[in-house]
Amino acid sequence: MQELAQEIQRRKTKEVFVGKVGVGSAHPISIQSMTFSKTHDVKATLAQIDRLYYAGADIVRVSVPHKEDALALDKICASSPLSVVADIHFHHKLALIAAQSVDCIRINPGNIGSHARIKEVVNACKARNIPIRIGVNGGSLEKKIENKYGLSPRAMCESAMYHIKLLEDLDFTDIKVSLKTSDALMTTRAYEMLAQMMPYPLHLGVTEAGTTFGASIKSSAALGALLMQGIGDTMRVSITGELEEEIRVAKELLRALGIRKTGVNLISCPTCARLESDLVSAIKEVENLTKDITKPLDIAVMGCVVNALGEAKHADLAIAFGKNEGMIIKKGVLISKEKEQNLIARFKQELEKLL
């Protein structure tokens, strides 16, 4: 049997730049999220952008439903540590204002009216050298396409190709595309199909995915399947919940696939009858101690010594609990035996040495 390739081969895609963030196969897969403040409330929006920045996001999208929101973008972009995408539906005038300051516009050209309007928006983006993200959503397909194919991967792709052609006809190719539905399988199939049809980078996401538990599973299933095929250049894990959760899950998914090599890979045993300690609390403590580390490290927390030396031997640092005591293991070598109450403190000392 042919040995499986260890590294995921990315699908070759065109390069676009969202501010300083390169998007395309020549660049790392970037992580995005969205603010939910009223965009015209500059202070609140910047506070949310800061939270996303510190959580590790690369790009932020803000909704621009009204003129006052578009007019606030200037100030937001001037202070944002992240590249900013303006999310606009239908209103070409809002797109024209936004294009003066943001790093990318998310708009579907087929939805903004006349050819002259599309041209105006395209010219505004060309003038500042910013890309357009076409965002096809299963809930708002063009009627003609939906009547022909129903809600299906084919319909999503037809819609995307329709919008792409409108831009290409105006000699505009700084394009990235998303194809979102709330159905993991349909979303996966749609991206797979579109990846065969055009060269532009893909923004991956499952929309309206739910709360942290369900959304993480749904997004991991769909995005994981795509990323393993090398499909996807930027991504959002949509979660109804805290802003930081989206970034945390996205980072963990990329880390699980070996795509992002930064940060801590936490290995913990599932526990069994051999467990003699409060492992769940210990893992929470370790997780908390390691959550902001950017150096790539494998850290293991094991419930007993039976499997610790074997299963954690590749970890940079491991704790193995026993009855009222435990061991600290570094790269498979036992370096210290401690009373249970001292284990975390000793672990912390060794962790600091590694950093």
What are the residues binding ligand SF4 (CB under 6 A)?
A: 269-272, 274-275, 302-304, 306-307
Helix orientation angle between 243-256 and 42-55, rounded to the nearest 10 degrees? 20
Q: How far is CA 323 from CA 98, 129, 223, 286, in A?
A: 62, 63, 41, 19
Helix orientation angle between 184-195 and 212-228, rounded to the nearest 10 degrees? 30
DSSP states of 20-68: TEEESTTSPPEEEEE--S-TT-HHHHHHHHHHHHHHT-SEEEEE--SHH
Closest approach, Cβ 279 to ligand SF4, in A, equals 7
Our CB check for ligand SF4 shows the closer of 116 and 273 to be 273
Closest approach, Cβ 287 to ligand SF4, in A, equals 17
Distance CA 179, CA 198 (A): 13
Closest approach, Cβ 343 to ligand SF4, in A, equals 15
Closest approach, Cβ 268 to ligand SF4, in A, equals 8
Our CB check for ligand SF4 shows the closer of 261 and 314 to be 314
Our CB check for ligand SF4 shows the closer of 5 and 273 to be 273
Our CB check for ligand SF4 shows the closer of 97 and 279 to be 279
Tokens of 256: 């699980």
Distance CA 18, CA 35 (A): 17
Closest approach, Cβ 310 to ligand SF4, in A, equals 9
Closest approach, Cβ 328 to ligand SF4, in A, equals 15
Closest approach, Cβ 293 to ligand SF4, in A, equals 23
Our CB check for ligand SF4 shows the closer of 200 and 321 to be 321
Our CB check for ligand SF4 shows the closer of 195 and 304 to be 304
Our CB check for ligand SF4 shows the closer of 64 and 320 to be 320
Closest approach, Cβ 313 to ligand SF4, in A, equals 13
Closest approach, Cβ 265 to ligand SF4, in A, equals 17
**What values do phi and psi take at 235, rounded to 5?**
-155, 155
- Sorted by sequence, the CB contacts under 8 Å of residue 151 that are 6+ apart come out as 138, 141, 181, 186
Handedness of CA 164, 166, 168, 173 (dihedral sign): negative
Our CB check for ligand SF4 shows the closer of 262 and 271 to be 271
Our CB check for ligand SF4 shows the closer of 240 and 271 to be 271
- Sorted by sequence, the CB contacts under 8 Å of residue 341 that are 6+ apart come out as none
Distance CA 265, CA 87 (A): 34
Our CB check for ligand SF4 shows the closer of 240 and 265 to be 265
Tokens of 129: 């050298």
Of residues 258, 255, 218, the one with CA closest to residue 238? 218
Distance CA 10, CA 227 (A): 8
Residue 256: what residue type? A
Q: Contact 177/198 with Cβ under 8 angstroms?
A: yes
Closest approach, Cβ 282 to ligand SF4, in A, equals 12
